[in-house]
Homo-oligomer: A and B are copies of this chain.
Amino acid sequence: MRRKLALLTMCGLVVLGITTTAPAHATGDERFPEVETTRRGGPPDPGEDVLVIGHRGASGYRPEHTLAAYELAARMGADYIEPDLVTTADGVLVARHEPEIGGTTDVAQRPEFADRKTTKIVDGTPVTGWFAEDFTLAELKTLRAVERIPELRPHNTIYDGRFEIPTFQEVVDLSRRLSRELGRPIGLYIETKHPTYFAEQGLPLEPALVKALDRNGLNRPNAKVYVQSFEVGNLKQLDRKLRVPLVQLVGASGAPYDFVHSGDPRTYDDLVTRKGLAEIARYADGLGPALDRVIPRTDDGGLGEPTALVDDAHRVGLDVHPWTFRAENEFLPTDLRSSGDPAEWGDVFGLYEAFLATGVDGVFADHPDIAVEALRSARTTGTRGATETVEATVGG
């Protein structure tokens, strides 16, 4: 849908001094900032230059994919909240990172659902547990969320048992309420999870998503909405149905599962060649690469030198939003760790600085407040772009 026209538009906007993230940020109706775009002309506001995407909500502080996690992310300054979508047996889109819900809810403690435990093949791998698509929404609503990685985020366990699994509609409603309450638009950065798998279950996600965006008036170019996927086929399909920007997710290794499934030999490595990126730019507006594709790690696990990916992607008009920025040593390059304790926090500010210097356009963050602070700091110290004249608003 975008193709050459989008590229031309983008070049025009670049001349006007607007960044290369044009399609996602065309000027919207500014009278009432519900779920609308933020990027406009004029001097940049704090946080406006690089998007902060609250990954699974503020999942560093709350059990992921709960309304509480999304709300905290928005309050902490995230531009977007990021619901991952799966479906219930009765075809309702709900927010979970995986169809298997044993790791993020208390379902294993519910004797009434003991017989739902089963083994399924998800993207070629056997997974044992409880699956969202085997529960009605009413049944899912009786469950409560728990922290997925309590050994790394023990603080978050104080919220175990307090929050429901939200429906996608509840997430949309929350973004609207928070947009009004906070006086700035809280966007939705929606991921379709395992599209081939759900199609095989007879519960494809895409028609439900299109319908939901249509129904909520969010299927339009200036809605503050992204749709992302690790697969390619469903993004191409969605490109014909959706008017919002699309983002191709790219794993650190492996291949899109729909390629594997159809016998297409191409891998994610092929997708990030210049040829691959040009092809992505035909149906998508952004690229969501694993961190290591932007800055690989050295042989001893330290932070290495950046690849050409950001420049290559920008050259074909794709924004780059890498994932995932996390504060815990477990997830940091070895040279940014603070100790041998995997749960302690290391020099995540160092990580942000290195990535901001590559010119990325957005960051998926489990701790959106740290991302906001890192952006603020980068603006203050001039790490990012000498043309900006944003006041330091906190601290220094």
| Docked CA distance A370–B62 (Å) | 11
Which of chain B's residues have a CB closer than 8 A to the CB of A157?
338, 345
- A393 to B162, Cβ gap below 8 A? no
- In the complex, what's the smallest C-beta–C-beta distance from A343 to chain B, in angstroms? 9
Contact of A158 among B158, B159, B349 (CB under 8 A): B349
Can you identify 10 A-B contacts, CB atoms within 8 angstroms? A66-B395, A71-B393, A72-B369, A155-B345, A157-B338, A158-B346, A158-B370, A162-B373, A162-B396, A177-B393
Most buried by B among A162, A163, A394: A394
Chain B residue nearest to A162 in the complex (CB): B395
Q: Which of A214-269 contact B (CB under 8 A)?
A: none
Chain B residue nearest to A76 in the complex (CB): B75
Most buried by B among A61, A158, A162, A346: A158
**Known contacts A183-B182, A373-B68; is-contact A158 B347 (Cβ 8 Å):** yes
Which of chain B's residues have a CB closer than 8 A to the CB of A177?
393
- In the complex, what's the smallest C-beta–C-beta distance from A164 to chain B, in angstroms? 6
Task: Quickly give the copy total for this chain.
Answer: 2
Q: Which of A334-348 contact B (CB under 8 A)?
A: 338, 344-348
Asked if A77 is an interface residue, CB under 8 A from chain B, the answer is yes
Contact of A163 among B72, B76, B327, B396 (CB under 8 A): B396
| Docked CA distance A295–B349 (Å) | 41
Chain B residue nearest to A328 in the complex (CB): B155
Which of chain B's residues have a CB closer than 8 A to the CB of A154?
344-345
The 8 A CB mask of A118-148 against B (1 = contact, 0 = none) is: 0000000000000000000000000000000
Asked if A181 is an interface residue, CB under 8 A from chain B, the answer is yes
Most buried by B among A157, A346, A373: A373
Chain B residue nearest to A158 in the complex (CB): B345
Chain B residue nearest to A155 in the complex (CB): B345
Asked if A377 is an interface residue, CB under 8 A from chain B, the answer is yes
- B327 to A158, Cβ gap below 8 A? yes
Q: Which of A314-361 contact B (CB under 8 A)?
A: 327, 338, 344-349
The 8 A CB mask of A47-88 against B (1 = contact, 0 = none) is: 000000000000001000011100110011100000000000
| Docked CA distance A155–B154 (Å) | 12
- In the complex, what's the smallest C-beta–C-beta distance from A72 to chain B, in angstroms? 6
Which of chain B's residues have a CB closer than 8 A to the CB of A68?
373, 394-395
| Docked CA distance A345–B157 (Å) | 9
Chain B residue nearest to A370 in the complex (CB): B158
